[in-house]
Amino acid sequence: MKKVRVTRSYQVTIPVEVREKLGIEIGDELIVKIEGDKIVMEKVEEELPAYEIDRKIGEQEIEDALLRGLKKALIGG
């Protein structure tokens, strides 16, 4: 267990051992919550959105949808 100090701005530094073990990198987001009298921080794992449909999707349909999305993002329309 490591001890950290709260700064004047109420910030703490996450010890390198903890960062390495949890794979925390600059720009990552953490969830901070209270459990009893403890402060608990958890790394936010990015989740891809999941959609349920009533049919199977073929490879070509997926490629076409990706291309449409890319064109929309690049062209803006």
pLDDT for 30 beyond 70: yes
* Residue 57 counted as domain residue: no
What CATH number does residue 1 fall under?
2.10.260.10
**What pLDDT shows up at residue 77?**
58
Residue 69, in any domain of the structure: no
Backbone angles phi, psi at 66, to 5 degrees: -65, -45
Whole-model pTM: value is 0.54
Quick: pLDDT tens for 35-59: 999 999 999 887 777 778 888 888 9
Q: Which helix (H) or strand (E) holds 75?
A: helix 59-75
Show the domain range for 31. 1-46
Is 17 part of any domain?
yes
Total of domains in the chain? 1
Nearest to 27 by CA among 43, 47, 3: 43
